[in-house]
Amino acid sequence: MTSLLLAQDFPPMGGGIARLHGELARRYPAGELIVSTPQDADAAEVDAQFGGAVDRLPIGRGRTKSLPGLLLWSRRAASLARQRGVRFVYCGNVKPAGYPARWVYERTKTPYCVFLYGADLLSERHKYHHSRLKRRASRAILGGAAALVAISNWTRDLALTVLGELGLDGHGQRLRVVHLGTDPARFRPRVDATELRRRLELTDGSGTGGGTRWLLTVARLEPHKGIDTVLQALPAILARAPDVRYAVAGAGAAAERAKLERLAGELGVAERVQFLGEVSERDLPALYGLATVYVGASRRAERIGVEGFGISLVEASACGLPVVAGNSGGVPDAVRDGETGFLVAPEDPAAFADAICRLLADDELTRRVGAAGRRAVESYYNWDRVVRDLRAIEAEVVAR
């Protein structure tokens, strides 16, 4: 049986959604999955890893949101479905990928499922509350899906609210939760970080990295990621653990970085903080390897700012790091409170400082929590389990 993945986000693009789609393509049985995705200038080298499974559109991501682009993608997807005898379609997001998924369904009766993350549903709610046309589109895409896959229990609950508002209450029985994962073979404890430390100049201020314990956050510089909360916690942390420094890996708007750097200066911790910018996928395991505690202070912010799950949290666990995270959105599904890390109030710097210092003051606790995180990834939070779960949903739908 051949399946089709309609992916607006796909490698070499970064981010958790693209990671999910790439891992699905990488771990699916050879020849049983085709990926339809927009063009990317750096795609050739990446696509070679997938053994011809990737069909690139002749247009980039921006144009797939236009009417001509959607028509092109929809016709191309229907042609692939007919040529390859596709029996099932994975729809990578509600929009724009939902439009070609619905198009294929109406012309070939091929069932499809839609991946739901969190911020996408918040965006849809905002749109359909302000536009009758967008409401009809959301209702058609979600209402036509044979299955809906939420990445966390929080996302599932939001999806049930959305379905109710769209008059699709009965479709809740089609909703499944599939928690995301990572690759425990690539993200593992004690990856040597010596070369990366030198290249990124991660020193203790005297020119070496010796004696420094690093807190780490891997996230785009966006308000809902809560990096400002960690900065506000740093003075209290440094009062109890003066050897600590904080590394932030992730790109973002220049204005957001400037705001965070300004805050660090106002708090008197600027010399203890390093903004690393974008760190390559290749370097991430080593970056986790130099840290002592991973901090993910995500919170609800602005209209659609939310963490639907948090892949970086399970990457950190895979590397044996204890995690301190904000109890917000889908984060509680990625961090087992008291086992693989600690969940605290997402906008409380004092709570973050206390939880982080508890780990810094107790090496045995740090090792125990980090080891539990590694076991959780090996047994559950891994891509092999994710793909098994998705294929089980696919088999159930096709059989039905």
Q: CATH no. for residue 18?
A: 3.40.50.2000
> What is d(CA 317, CA 183) in angstroms, rounded to the nearest whole number?
11
Q: Are 155 and 354 in contact (CB under 8 A)?
A: no
Compute CA distances 32 → 24, 54, 111, 267, whole Å.
11, 12, 16, 54
Domain that holds residue 19: 2-181+382-399
253 and 348 together in one domain: yes
Q: Which two tokens stand for residue 65?
A: 């949101």
Q: Please report how many Cα atoms fall inside a 13 Å half-sphere around the Cα of residue 113, on the Cβ side.
A: 27
Task: Indicate the pTM of the whole model.
Answer: 0.92
298 and 340 together in one domain: yes
354 and 327 together in one domain: yes
pLDDT score, position 1: 75
Asked if the structure places residue 189 within a domain, the reply is no
Asked if the structure places residue 204 within a domain, the reply is yes
> What is d(CA 297, CA 304) in angstroms, rounded to the nearest whole number?
16
216 and 245 together in one domain: yes
pLDDT score, position 277: 93
Neighbouring-strand partners of residue 382 = 182
204 and 118 together in one domain: no
Asked if the structure places residue 242 within a domain, the reply is yes
79 and 108 together in one domain: yes
Asked if the structure places residue 305 within a domain, the reply is yes
Neighbouring-strand partners of residue 177 = 150
Asked if the structure places residue 75 within a domain, the reply is yes
- 122: phi then psi, degrees, rounded to nearest 5: -60, -40
355 and 387 together in one domain: no
- Could you tell me which residues come within 8 angstroms of residue 24 by beta carbon, excluding any fewer than 6 positions away? 5, 33, 90, 386, 387, 390
pLDDT score, position 201: 85
* Consecutive H or E run containing 296: strand 291-296
Q: Which amino acid is at 12?
A: P
Total domains, the chain: 2
Asked if the structure places residue 63 within a domain, the reply is yes
Q: Are 323 and 335 in contact (CB under 8 A)?
A: yes
pLDDT score, position 210: 54
99-135 CB burial, b ≥16 within 10 A, e <16? bbbbbbbeebebbbbbbbbbbbbbebbeebeeeeeeb
pLDDT score, position 207: 38
119 and 135 together in one domain: yes
pLDDT score, position 203: 66
Asked if the structure places residue 188 within a domain, the reply is no
Distance of CA 117 to the CA centre of its chain: 9
Burial label, 203 (beta-carbon count in 10 A; 0-12, 13-18, 19+): middle
pLDDT score, position 202: 86
Asked if the structure places residue 165 within a domain, the reply is yes
172 and 313 together in one domain: no
Q: Show the low-confidence residues of the chain (pLDDT under 50).
A: 205-209
45 and 130 together in one domain: yes
176 and 230 together in one domain: no
206 and 242 together in one domain: yes
